[in-house]
Every structure is written in C-alpha cells, then in structure tokens.
Structure 1
Amino acid sequence: MSFTSGTVSSKESRVRLRDLLPKLHLGYWKPGPLNSLTDVPGVLVHTQEIFADNGAVNTGVTSILPRKGWFNNACYAGIFSFNGSGEMTGSHWINETGLLHSPIVITNSFSVGAAYQGIYEYTIKAQGVEKGNVDWFLLPVVAETFDGYLNDLTQFVVRPEHIINGLENASSDRVREGNVGGGTGMICHYFKGGTGSSSRIVEGLDCKGDPKNYTVGVLVQANYGRPQHFRIAGVPVGRILAQEADEAAQSNPAIKMAREALDKEKNRKDGSIIVIIATDAPLHPTQLQRLAKRATVGLSRVGGYGHNPSGDIFLAFSTGNEIPVQSVSMERRAVDPFKPTPLTVEVVDDTSINGLFEAAADATEESIYNALCMAETMVGNRDHKIEALPLERVREIMERYA
C-alpha cells in the first residue's frame, strides 16, 4: 500500500454558503475580506491530506500558528468544553495560565501522539537547538476528532514530518475547506463534513477612543450531528432531506439496504467538533473563555446538541497583546521569578464585549455551513460512502422556506 499527501481536486462544483445563498442573513456583522480565520492579522494556517491508493486512508492535518513569534510571545487564551469526550492537549496549562504559546494542530483521534512529537521536532529545528540542549518550556496543543468510518485509523499514517511540513508552510491565505486538513475524513450531520472557516469584522474603539475595527475568525473541524437535526437559518433542511431519502429507499431495495446500514452507524454514536476562535481584540483569558463558550450558540443553530460521547472543545485566543514567555529557564533569568513584575496590557471593557460574542457565534455557524457546502462525496475505508450535502436541493428548499 502506498500513501500520497497533497490537496483535493474535484469534478463537481462546490461553493461556500454565501455563494450558494447570497441573500441569506448570516448575522449583522460583515465578514472579513477572506471570510476566513486568516483574516485575523498574523494568524497562519496550513491544511494537508493523506490518502492511500486503495481508498482506505482518508485523513490529514490542519496546522495553525497564532502568530509568527508564538515561541517567545504568547497569546492570551481560553478554553470551553461543551462536551469533553475528546482531546485537546495543553489545555491544562492554558486553563492554569491563560497563555497559548504553541502551534495548534488538529488531526484524527489516533494521530495525537505523532502531532505532539511533530510540534516538538518543528520547534527544535526552528530554534536551532543543539543536540541534548533543550532549555525552554513548551506544551503542544493538539486536538482531534474521529474519522474511523472513512479512514483506516490502524495505519497510523500521520507522521511528525507532516506536522513539520504544515507548520513550515502555514500562510495567511484563505483556509481551504471541505475534505481537507484534519477534516479530510470527517462526517457532519451524516453528510460529508470536514474543515470550514469564517470571520466577522466588529466596529469598536481603541484605548484613545478612536474608531477601530476588530476581527473575529473561526475554524472548525466538524464531525458531529444527526441528519434530521441539521438546520440552515432555522429551516429544517436535514429533516426534509432525511424524509426524501426514506421515501426513495422504500421503492429501491439497494438504496434501502444502504440506508439501513448508514442508520445503524449514525445511531451508534455521535461525533465531535473542534472550534478555534481567533481575534485581534485585546481580551484577557477570562473574556476569551467566555468568547469560546459562544461557539456553542453557533453550533446549536446548525443542529448540534453536544451528545454523549461527542467531543466538543472550543479554544479562543487573542493576538491583541504579546505576553513574553521563555524568560525564565535553567540558564536564563530575564526576570526574577520571585519578584512580582507587572506587564502593561490592553483589555476590552466587559460592558462593550457583546459585538465580539455575536461575531464568534455567527462565524462558528457559518464555518460549519462552509465545511458542509465545500465537502465532496467520499468513498473510503471498507467502501463506506458518505454523500456530500446536495447543494442544488438545499437551494430549492431554502428558496421555498426562507
């Protein structure tokens, strides 16, 4: 068996939700120029896919750099676990200190170890570490969702070198969506899911009271949900599509058999969703934890319930302040660890934060839509097949009901 790593090409036309339904109301805040996580200045992303020539392997890696100087200058961050049947390494340290000073890697459930090692290998290389001389502190942040229906997890195809490649090539381009990166083999509301992204621009003020815009960007790895719960702007699209599928199955034995097999699988367990929220608004860790909670609002609009045992874990970080780290080690003492030394930071007034909350919820909702709209039908491990969301039928339903 041979493996290939690269990008997805498509013969069918897939478009983002705004292109499919240009008149749809998706909140009051306008998207950024890319409508992507990378609209937040300084945030870099890379996605890569891994396939096997026999079709059994369909997985990948999403790599996020919160800023180029993440190693020495941390971001404030906060985490919220809506349902904790999943993994996000490094979360204890973020909860302890409110600091993110690691890349963020998202992949499949069985590849957390390889991703963890890959972040260390990348950092050793990037810092020019001599053999046997690591004199710094780093707890890698790696999150996962399960792709075992479409991907043969027993192959353990994600390697540390994939992580190094992703972190070395992260860019400010619009995040690729659908069957890409860590979302390659994921399923959402039992349509093909995967990676999606969106952003919002919130009008605000700087510390001097002058007008200033702030960006909230979101990236999701969507792998959760029952088909009948899927909604777009409140329209029960999933329920309508499920009813149509049931009717078609009654008159076609082959469709009925496939439908029953799929129903058995989707009723066995729910999946998970990882949500990464970035902003350049200067928020402190408690505010960022509150921002992360608002991903739940966007998720619920689409039809997520946080079922047991779903892993719904959300991380928010801010590039609005640079917090020095690596200042105290075995050999270096840039500050005295026993002499309290203040830092000067900016923070948003809590009474003015509502626009950012709305932006986080709206961008999470749209990110999930984009993951579904951009994903393509996939036949994967053991010939399991998951259909893409039928966009033309969705357009017809929305024109009728919305």
Structure 2
Amino acid sequence: MTAPPVRSKPRARGLGLDVPGICGPANAITDVPGVLVGYETLVRDAAPGGKPVRTGVTAILPRGFDPHPSPVWAGQFTLNGNGEMTGSHWIRDGGHFLGPVLVTNTHSVGIAHHAATRWILSHYGAAFEAHHLWAMPVVAETYDGVLNDINGQHVGEADVLSAIRAARPGPVAEGNVGGGAGMICYEFKGGTGTASRVIEIDGERFTLGVLVQANHGLRPWLSVLGVPVGRHLDRDRMKDMPTERGSIIAVIATDLPLAPSQLERLARRAGLGIGRGGTPGGNNSGDIFLAFSTANRMDLPQLSGAWRDMRTLNDERLDPVYMAVVDGVEEAVLNAMLAAEDAPTAKPAGHVCRALRADELLEVMARYGRAG
C-alpha cells in the first residue's frame, strides 16, 4: 500500500493550456460540497518469477460520512458496454442510489461490492437493523492486466474499506493512484483524473465535478484541445495493442437540483467529453458513466411518506450544464495523463508504459498555436 502522492506535476491549466470553463478551487469533484474522495493504492514490484502489482480502489462518497441514510438522485449511461457498473439497473429505474461509488479493476468488482455492502450495513446499521432494507452498491471497473497482475486478485476487503475511510475533501491526487494505478490511456500511462466547473444560473452558483478512471484509446486517436497530438508523439507505443482493450469510467457530481432523467442526460454527455480526446468508444472498451446530484435531499423511499417534492432545473437552461460536463471530462482525462508516472508492464513483462511528457505535449501544441 502507498499513500496518494503529493501533486508535483503541473496539470493542464498549470501548463498554460487554454482549457475552457471556470473551475472550482481544487478543480476536482470534491469542489461539490459534501463530496469526498479516498484511495487505496497497491504497488509492489515483481518478485523473481512474479508479476508487478499496480492496482487499487477509488472511493467517492456523495454525502461524505453522514450517518443518516440519504440517497442521491442519479442517472446512468453506457456508451459501450464492455465493462461493469453494479447498481446501474436500479439507477436507471429508481433514479437514485445509497452509499459510496467505488472504481477498481475488472477482477476486483466482487470483493469491492462485498466490502461496500459491509460498510453500508455498518455505517447505516440502525436503519438496516430496524427495517427490511437492502444494499445495492455502485462498483465500476476498468482492465489493468497489462500493468498489473490482475489475475492475482490482490485487492482485498480491507483495501476497499481503507479507501472508503480515507475519503477527504479538497485537492485530489491523480494519475497512478487508487483504481487508476495500473491504467493506460492512449498508450500513455493513464489513471485517475478530475476537474470541476462553476455554473451560474439565474443568480445562483452551482458546482459540477468529474472524476474519471481513464484506460482507453489508441495513440493515433489522441487529440488535445483539438490538436492531433497522437500523430506526432508516436514513440514508445504499446506494441501489443493493435486494438483498444481498455475502458473509461466517468463519475459526474453536482449540487445543481436535477431530476433523474436530466442526470441521465448529463451522463450521456460524458461520451462527448471523451470523444473530444479522440476515442470512438472502441469495441473492447467499457465506456460507462454515472451522474448524481446532492440536491433535493431525501430519506430512503422505504421510510418516506406517499408524496415527494423536488426542485429541478428547467430543461431550457441545461445547455451550459451539458457543456460543463463535456469540458470537465475532457480536462479530467488530460489531467490523469499529465499526473501519471511511468510503469513497468506485467504482460508482456519487460516493457515500460511511458507517461505523457508535458514538454513534448507543449511542443506539439505550439506547432498549432495552442501552447498558452
């Protein structure tokens, strides 16, 4: 286990790139009041005859450690379904979920679900003991088997619980942390990235935040703010990747009052955000997106009365919110790549997945007049 590193590399805005939109103070999903993020990162170099371990768990707590079981309204969308997000069926039908959102690797979904259930039963113990309630955790995944001994199933229940307990507000570590530790993006080292946007509607200020686990794309596809960067940075490619074999999870949080149908439409726009980066949503990619709102606080429906009142935004005012999602997802992916560090491969062994170099990126951007 390793602690999330202190951010030492500049993010997209820190490089002077003209990223659109106004961000919150941390430019992170935690800019949404009450939303916390925690990690458990597992890093072990390969022993003789073994494979390196580069994996972990990312935990997003929509209502932090509030002991009252209050679900959040939510919407879910799948651009390409070669992946998993548990709980999504009920989110699409019921429009809400309770508890943390966890993101890990493909072969750790089961243990993450088990641990999340245990945490929900413990954290909301009185309500679950007194009533016939059931936990349906949200756990999503992307495949890290190129850089991690994924079949070793190294993530344990204690690791998942540690990620949840580590959840904090404020700046969020990016790159090789949590579930993003072993991920690859456009054949560069990928991983965890985040961004936020501040939106003003009718004199009120709201925040929208995004967190991605970026593990998608082939190098020739890569575009940064409209510049075909991948065509120019074609060295150190992952030689055994003729087709895309990754995925991307995007989680969108906001304090803007929205109905589940509107949140589903927000989740759809994450597809436009990753599309700006160049991916078409490859056949082997699980491009799965979740959006939730902390507004319109409610009790569990099983413990509520017959009627419910909601405040929701007029659909005619949604365009700036859609743009915030698209811009935020695009920036979060770029932040993930810029924060990442080189990592050795597990299969095939003996290679290195290189991180995107800021100086090389800026050199290409300058050719197109986009370097700040």
Contact conserved, 1:71 with 1:325, CA < 8 A, in 2? no
The one-letter amino acid paired with 2:171 is: R
* Larger mean Cα displacement after TM superposition, 184-193 or 375-384: 375-384
Please give the residue correspondences for 1:69-218 in structure 2 after superposition, counting only pairs within 5 Å. 69=66, 72-128=69-125, 135-205=132-202, 211-218=203-210
Please give the residue correspondences for 1:15-34 in structure 2 after superposition, counting only pairs within 5 Å. 15-20=10-15, 22=16, 24-27=17-20, 29-34=21-26
Contact conserved, 1:227 with 1:238, CA < 8 A, in 2? yes
> Structure 1 8/324 Cα, relative in aligned 2: closer, same or farther at 3 Å?
closer
Asked if 1:57 is matched to 2:53, the reply is yes
In the alignment, the residues of structure 1 paired with residue 264 and residue 301 of structure 2 have an alpha-carbon distance, to the nearest angstrom, of: 24
Secondary structure of 2:297's aligned partner:
strand
Per-residue CA shift, 1:47-92, capped at 9, x if unaligned? 2210224261000100011113486211110001000000000001
In the alignment, the residues of structure 1 paired with residue 84 and residue 262 of structure 2 have an alpha-carbon distance, to the nearest angstrom, of: 22
The one-letter amino acid paired with 2:272 is: V
In the alignment, the residues of structure 2 paired with residue 13 and residue 367 of structure 1 have an alpha-carbon distance, to the nearest angstrom, of: 17
The one-letter amino acid paired with 2:97 is: L
> Structure 1 353/326 Cα, relative in aligned 2: closer, same or farther at 3 Å?
closer
> Structure 1 269/355 Cα, relative in aligned 2: closer, same or farther at 3 Å?
closer
Per-residue CA shift, 1:187-228, capped at 9, x if unaligned? 0000000000000001113xxxxx111111000000000101
Deviation at 1:130, TM superposition (A): 11
- The counterpart of 2:342, out of the listed 377, 381, 395, is 377
The one-letter amino acid paired with 1:217 is: G
> Structure 1 359/140 Cα, relative in aligned 2: closer, same or farther at 3 Å?
same
> Structure 2: any 5+ residue segments left out of the alignment?
none
Contact conserved, 1:198 with 1:366, CA < 8 A, in 2? yes
- Cα RMSD over matched residues? 2.1
Per-residue CA shift, 1:150-201, capped at 9, x if unaligned? 0001211111111111212211122110001100000000000000000000
In the alignment, the residues of structure 2 paired with residue 185 and residue 203 of structure 1 have an alpha-carbon distance, to the nearest angstrom, of: 37
Asked if 1:270 is matched to 2:245, the reply is yes
Contact conserved, 2:74 with 2:290, CA < 8 A, in 1? yes
Asked if 1:359 is matched to 2:324, the reply is yes
In the alignment, the residues of structure 2 paired with residue 13 and residue 132 of structure 1 have an alpha-carbon distance, to the nearest angstrom, of: 46
Per-residue CA shift, 1:275-295, capped at 9, x if unaligned? 000010000000001111111
Asked if 1:225 is matched to 2:204, the reply is no
> Structure 1 140/130 Cα, relative in aligned 2: closer, same or farther at 3 Å?
closer
TM-score by length of structure 1 reads: 0.86
Deviation at 1:345, TM superposition (A): 1.4
> Structure 1: any 5+ residue segments left out of the alignment?
206-210, 246-257, 329-333, 336-340
In the alignment, the residues of structure 2 paired with residue 86 and residue 312 of structure 1 have an alpha-carbon distance, to the nearest angstrom, of: 7
Contact conserved, 2:41 with 2:177, CA < 8 A, in 1? yes
Contact conserved, 2:144 with 2:183, CA < 8 A, in 1? yes
Q: Corresponding residue for 2:284?
A: 309
The one-letter amino acid paired with 1:63 is: A
Q: Corresponding residue for 2:274?
A: 299
Contact conserved, 2:97 with 2:136, CA < 8 A, in 1? no
Secondary structure of 1:315's aligned partner:
strand
The one-letter amino acid paired with 1:234 is: G
Bigger radius of gyration among the two: 1
In the alignment, the residues of structure 1 paired with residue 160 and residue 8 of structure 2 have an alpha-carbon distance, to the nearest angstrom, of: 30
Percent of aligned positions that are identical = 41
TM-score by length of structure 2 reads: 0.92
Q: Corresponding residue for 1:390?
A: 357
- The counterpart of 1:348, out of the listed 290, 313, 333, is 313
Please give the residue correspondences for 1:316-327 in structure 2 after superposition, counting only pairs within 5 Å. 316-325=291-300, 327=302
